[in-house]
Structure formats: structure tokens, C-alpha cells
Amino acid sequence: MKKCLHVDYYAFNQEFTEDDIEQFALDLFRDCNVVTTLQTHFDEFKGNNVNRVQTETIPCSVTSMMFFDRLLDPKNNIVCSGTDNDGNHRIRQCMEVFKNGIYISNKLKMMSFEDESSEYLLYSEDERAEFIFRLLQHFLIGGRWCQDDEIIEPYLTATKHVYKDLLNVEKVTDFGIRVSSKIYKVVAFNSNNKISFPKESINSAPYSFAYLSVNPKTRTVALFFHNVGDKIYT
């Protein structure tokens, strides 16, 4: 993913309202500074050809990596008992299955993508909708020729760092915080109603994705994306 995973940060000078997110996203993708930046990653992108932007509000309420503690409990059948010399947990392997364009050969992927498995029930549908869980899924999928890691820590570490970098939090009580950023999954369409960003994949596996993380108070927005389509080098 390292060649195609990017995050770009921008500032805006108008008040942000959640009801206007589609217009906000459209203005963003048409902005000349954004277009110039995106063209350094994806020279085919043309902001003046973006006709509309489809947005999806993504829940984002998790404020602790304790959210993933159940993955590290051997009783839940995701990792093996014990740790290696570096304190890492080995992911349990399983017979390979192919579902929705994804090869599943370990229990972590089984929990993430195989809705007919017992491991899938480890997280509720509401928990799966959370942005932090989606990040983990994206890192598990990787690029088209990505090879699975045998230990779980690299996935959790990557998820933690990206999640922390993309979000802002605010104090709500003497002992509590909450996420103040607003997260949206975005897809830009051209005048022919074809996907122009991120690159469309003919496979069912979602290799490409794009999210906006908006901080209304500081009037800043991060565009986080993996823009690959079906290229084999990712």
C-alpha cells in the first residue's frame, strides 16, 4: 500500500455544516490547490470534470485501542496462546476461502470479512461501522498482491497511528474525551456519472478508498485515500 496510500491536509475559510457535506466535498475536489496536489499522486485527475461527490457519514466514537483487546484474547480464537520473544501475538491460520474478492486464510480476516463464521460475531454491526474498524479492514485487504502478516501487531499499530493522525478529540468531562472530527467516505463522479476518484476497481475487493476527516473548529480537512484501482504494484 505504501506507494498509493496518502493523506493530504487542507484549510478552508467558511463555516462547516454537516447538512452541506456534499457541496463541501464537491468544492474541495474542484479547488485548484486540491487538484494540483491530487495530480501529483494521480495525473489523470481533473477537478473541473467532477460533477458530483457521493458522501457517506462514518461513525467515529472510539477513543481507545482497548476496542481491539478482544482480538488479543486467545479464547476468542483470533490469535494463538502466548507471545513470541518480541511480545507479538501470532494470528491463527485456517483453510483458505475466497469471498467478495478477498482471500481469507487466517482467523483475523475471518473475523473481519466472513459473516458466516463464528469469529465474525466478535464485533457487532455497529462496532464494524466505526471508522477504526474500517481502517483495520483496509490494512487487512492491503493492495492486490498484498501478503498477509503472521502477527497481529503490525495491523493494530498501523491502524492506531493513522486513526490518531486523522482525528481531533476534545475534553468533555474531567476524565473523558470524545472525537470532534467528522468522517465521511467519498467517491467523486465525472459528468458521465463514472467514478473519477478514487480509482474504480473491477474486482469486488475494495482496494481503493477515500475519506474526509473534517475538523469544524479549526476549519481543516484531511483527505485520506488509497488510490489504486487494479494496478498490480500495490
pLDDT, tens digit (0-9, with 9 covering 90-100), for 42-88: 777 877 789 999 999 999 999 999 999 999 999 999 999 999 999 99
pLDDT, tens digit (0-9, with 9 covering 90-100), for 90-100: 999 999 999 88
pLDDT, tens digit (0-9, with 9 covering 90-100), for 21-50: 999 999 999 999 999 998 887 777 877 789
Closest CA to 205 of 111, 140, 148: 140
Same domain? 198 vs 156: no
Same domain? 139 vs 47: no
| pLDDT for position 220 | 98
Q: Is residue 171 part of a domain?
A: no
| Burial class of residue 232, CB neighbours in 10 A (0-12, 13-18, 19+) | exposed
- Evaluate if residue 156 carries a pLDDT over 50: yes
Same domain? 69 vs 47: no
Same domain? 152 vs 104: yes
| pLDDT for position 44 | 74
pTM above 0.85, yes or no: yes
Same domain? 86 vs 158: yes
Same domain? 201 vs 145: no
**CB-CB contact of 3 with 222 (8 Å):** no
One-letter identity of residue 75: K
Q: What is the mean pLDDT of residues 183-190?
A: 96
Q: What is the mean pLDDT of residues 196-220?
A: 85
Same domain? 198 vs 131: no
One-letter identity of residue 54: Q
**CB-CB contact of 209 with 199 (8 Å):** no
Radius of gyration over every alpha carbon of the chain, rounded to an integer in angstroms: 19
Same domain? 48 vs 118: no
- CA gap 157, 162 in Å, rounded: 9
| pLDDT for position 233 | 42
- Evaluate if residue 197 carries a pLDDT over 60: yes
Domain range holding 204? 5-60+178-226
First-to-last CA distance in the chain?
A: 5
**CB-CB contact of 82 with 185 (8 Å):** no
- Evaluate if residue 5 carries a pLDDT over 60: yes
- Evaluate if residue 204 carries a pLDDT over 80: no
- CA gap 30, 203 in Å, rounded: 28
Q: Is residue 173 part of a domain?
A: no
Residues with Cβ within 8 Å of 81's Cβ and at least 6 positions away in sequence, in order, are 74
One-letter identity of residue 76: N
Looking at 145, 166, 187, the residue that finishes a domain is 166
Enter the DSSP assignment of 88.
Answer: P
| pLDDT for position 205 | 62
Q: Is residue 88 part of a domain?
A: yes
- Evaluate if residue 231 carries a pLDDT over 70: no
pLDDT, tens digit (0-9, with 9 covering 90-100), for 102-129: 899 999 999 999 999 999 999 999 999 9
